[in-house]
Each structure stands twice: as structure tokens, then as C-alpha cells.
Amino acid sequence: MKTKRLIIIALMALAFNTTMNAQEVFKEIYNAANATLNDPKEDIGVRKIALFKVEALTYMNTKYLEVVLDTTTQIPYNAIARRDSMAYYMYDYVNLFLKEYNRASKQRDKDKVMKAFRETSINNPLFNDPNREFVLYFFNKEDILTQFSLDTDWVKACEDVRRKLKEL
């Protein structure tokens, strides 16, 4: 009985610690991307990827703040924790893309990877933002490697793209 109580206490402490750390994820990813973006010594391609991350995180934060500040709707439970989770999955998505894109040795394989990630991004909207020109800014930029929609449910997109990668 005592062992069972200790296990429950340990699990609760772990869950509390994980929640506290998750709330710092957004800020850490944003700060790292922003530092890279503003580092003139960094390669321009790396800075463009950082630009996407900063813009995606800023967009995400703005949309979640709109939800939290909207007094006409009920605030979703743990909206900030959900935002932080989305930030983590966006970071994971971009890094997975870069890994797969760089691993592809032939241009046609790179094109397949790009297509899979672009399609997955646009096909998993989170906010269904009607301002398509804005949310598709990076999607429509050929000179930027991270051609993804800003309005993406990054959790679903990660799941979907992992399935698609198995088929490539």
C-alpha cells in the first residue's frame, strides 16, 4: 500500500514537472529561432528557416491570444499548454523535414519530400484562417526551403507526414 502511494506521488510530481517544462517550450523555441534569425554570421538559408519558425510561432501566439481574449467564447482548457505543444510539434516538423530533405540524394527524391511536407501542412489547418494570402506566404515562396502554411495543426501534420514518409 505504501509503495503504491509512493508511485502515485512520483507520477503526479513527474506530470507536474512535465507541465511546467512544456510551458517554457514556446519561449525557448522562439528565442532560439529569433537569435538565429538576427545573427548576421549565420548562413542566409538557415536564417530563412529561422524566419519561418519565428513567423509561425508569432502567428500561433496571436491566434491563441485571440481565443483567450475573446469574451464571447469559452476559453479552451489549457490553451497555453496547447500552444506550447503546437510549438514543439512545429519545431519537430521542420527538423524532420530538414533531415529527410537533406537525406534525399536525388532532386526527384527531394521534390517528393518537399511535396509531402507542403501538402501535409496545408491539409491540416488549425484555425481555418480565411486570410489565405497571409497564412500561405511561406508556402508560395520558392526561395524559402520551409514552404509550409502558418495555419497548420502541427500535431496532426507530424502524424500525417510520418505516415507519408513510410510510403515514399
pLDDT tens-digit profile of 49-95? 999 999 999 999 999 888 777 656 665 657 778 899 999 999 999 99
**d(Cα 45, Cα 36) in Å, to the nearest integer?**
11
pTM (2 decimals)?
A: 0.82
Give pLDDT, residue 29. 95
Other CB atoms within 10 Å distance of the CB of residue 74 = 7
Give pLDDT, residue 112. 96
Best CA proximity match to 51, nearest among 152, 145, 117, 127: 145
Give pLDDT, residue 40. 96
Give pLDDT, residue 79. 76
Give pLDDT, residue 21. 54
What's 63-105 look like in SS3? Answer: HHHHHHHCCCCCCCCCHHHHHHHHHHHHHHHHHHHHHHHHHCC
Best CA proximity match to 116, nearest among 160, 50, 56: 160
The single-letter DSSP state of residue 143 is T
Helices assigned H by DSSP within the chain: 2-37, 44-69, 79-103, 107-122, 132-135, 154-167
For range 114-131, the mean pLDDT: 97
For range 9-37, the mean pLDDT: 69
Is pLDDT of 2 > 80?
no
Q: Is pLDDT larger for residue 155 or for residue 13?
A: 155
Q: Is pLDDT larger for residue 168 or for residue 29?
A: 29
**d(Cα 8, Cα 33) in Å, to the nearest integer?**
38
Give pLDDT, residue 93. 98
Is pLDDT of 47 > 60?
yes
> Over the stretch 126-168, which tens digit does the pLDDT of each residue have?
999 999 999 999 999 999 999 999 999 999 999 999 999 998 8
The span from the first CA to the last CA of the chain, in angstroms, equals: 51
> Taking all residues of the chain, what is their mean pLDDT, rounded to a whole number?
86
Give pLDDT, residue 19. 44
139's CB contacts (< 8 A; 6+ apart) are: 118, 121, 122, 147, 148, 149
